[in-house]
Chain A
Amino acid sequence: MVLPNTWQRFLDETGGMSRFTGRFFSQAFKPRYEFSEFIRQCFIIGYKSLPLVGLTGFIMGLVLTMQLRPSMISYGAESQLPAMVGIAIVREIGPVITALIFAGKIGSSIGAELGSMKVTEQIDAMEVSGTNPFKYLVVTRVMAATFMLPVLVILGDAISLYGSYIGVNIRGVTSFDLFFKQVFDALSFDDFFPAFIKTYFFGFAVGIVGCYKGFNSNKGTEGVGRSANSSVVVSSLLIFIIDLLAVQIIDLFGLN
């Protein structure tokens, strides 16, 4: 059977990425552990995306609040504004927006970095000098992305809520204490926890896709650009797919 070209490529990519993920799990938990490189990557990955995550989070909180206000007023529920925004941010907007920013910033930089290392034979050089490049480059980056994104999401959520507090106070007056009391009264553990867990999967997806694209980069500078670009596209798409799966699973277990 001859499949159309795009389908063939899609299946090839899916297969390649699954094998890459399998290789990750078979190597990640065996010594030698690249602990210091992992810590260095955590710092780079977390620190690099912090300003962007903070800024977008703040703007999202502020804008969301201002956009929702007229509708809330028309329902006569203006006092519910902090609760409403809090739930939206913690359950959905915070994790997804942060993950997308993360994919744009970190996914592309991992893809480009490993891609250029690949085409200039630096990865071969590492292997030849007796260092396992998969462990040293891939495992550390994927782990760092997996563990740093949840931290960034929590920070992003906090900054978003602060943005929302500012938004509430543009037209009305609500004290800081009252605002956050209203937010936290509306939130329960079930709002926070599933949303938090799914961010680990988002981070993992961004790391794996970036590393896979970089490691399989084609020759030439064009190949490096394409790796960077397609790692952003594919990981953003995966974030939405994981989000869709997560909401189904949460629903199934009756956690919402």
Chain B
Amino acid sequence: MQAEETILEELKPTRLPGKEMALSITHLYKSFGDNHVLIDFNLQLNRGENVAVLGKSGSGKSVLIKCIIGLLKPDKGSINILGRDIEDLSLRELDEVRTRVGFLFQSNALYDSMTVRENLEFPLRRHWIKLTTAERNEKVTEVLKNVGLVHTIDMLPAELSGGMRKRIALARTLILEPEIILYDEPTTGLDPITGKEISNLIMELGEKYNTSAIIISHDINCIHRTADRIVMLIDGKCYADGTYDALKNNNDIKVKQFFE
């Protein structure tokens, strides 16, 4: 019986009273030729909320997150970020929205010709042009302190370990104080202990800067630790939506397999 409560036929707005919407995706379609990846996908993210998107490998999680930030163009449907429909925006307006949204790449995507300091300074120099050198240094040190890697400031990304690189990438994502952060598999490829540390860091920093987040993952431990709500992406649709406990006790066979 519980299955019927959590599996959504028609999406009911999950907007809670008194809460502001940070991001909403409605009727999103995306295919590559005959490969229909997203079919009528819907998702709402409230301010201050962390939503996890759980799905099998190849189910289209990365495609979803890339559609949100405008790296891929959806075939149909609308995406609204912080009150603005992204398909209506000019390039410049899109860039402005993008500075308010952080994106942590699965591959970290650190600029490997630049030191850690230059990597972190890059977004500041581009968008917070008025900062003085002292203020910029202060900001860089602050985010490095948050991720516990102040001593790496003059190193190159190639000299860091995988876990350290992930932290630096996280620091770079946070430096412009985004309101929404999109995490693409933040713990994949890390050992369980480092994975746990990263999960804790995501939680801590989310609370500290009061961000909303979409966390894409198949690491159920990371999701348990970080997410307020879980959305299951199966067959291109939002198949189920609920808290960790609700989904864990769900009897639907497709939902169950993620918790085994």
Contact = CB atoms under 8 A, between A and B. Distances in A.
A39 to B, nearest CB: 15
Contacts of B111: 117, 122, 125-126
Interface in A99-147: 113, 116-117, 120-122, 124-132
Nearest to B92: A32
A129 B123 contact: yes
Contacts of B110: 122, 125
Contact of A124 (B71, B113, B127): B71
Interface string B98-110: 1101010101011
B237 to A, nearest CB: 26
Interface string B59-102: 00000000001010000000000000000000100011011010
B158 to A, nearest CB: 11
Contact of A130 (B71, B96, B105): B96
Nearest to A127: B71
Contacts of A131: 95, 122, 126
A108 B96 CA distance: 34
Contacts of B4: none
Nearest to B175: A129
Nearest to B125: A36
Interface string A66-95: 000000000000000000000000000000
B91 A129 contact: no
B20 interface: no
Given A127-B71, A128-B98, A122 B126 contact: no
Contacts of A116: 112
A120 B176 CA distance: 22
A130 B107 contact: no
Contacts of B96: 130
B95 A122 contact: no
Interface string B167-188: 0000000001000000000000
A113 B109 contact: no
> In this complex, which of B95, B110, B127 has the most chain A Cβ atoms within 10 angstroms of its Cβ?
B95
A130 B99 contact: yes
A161 to B, nearest CB: 37
B182 to A, nearest CB: 9
A129 B105 contact: no
A125 B98 CA distance: 11
Which 7 pairs across A and B sit closest by C-beta, in order of nearness?
A125-B109, A130-B95, A121-B109, A130-B98, A130-B99, A128-B103, A129-B123
29 contacts: A116-B112, A117-B111, A120-B109, A120-B112, A121-B107, A122-B109, A122-B110, A122-B111, A124-B105, A125-B109, A126-B111, A127-B71, A127-B98, A128-B71, A128-B103, A129-B98, A129-B99, A129-B123, A129-B176, A130-B95, A130-B96, A130-B98, A130-B123, A130-B127, A131-B95, A131-B122, A131-B126, A132-B91, A132-B95
Interface of A: 113, 116-117, 120-122, 124-132
Given A125-B103, A129-B176, 7 more contacts: A120-B109, A122-B109, A124-B109, A125-B111, A129-B98, A129-B122, A129-B126
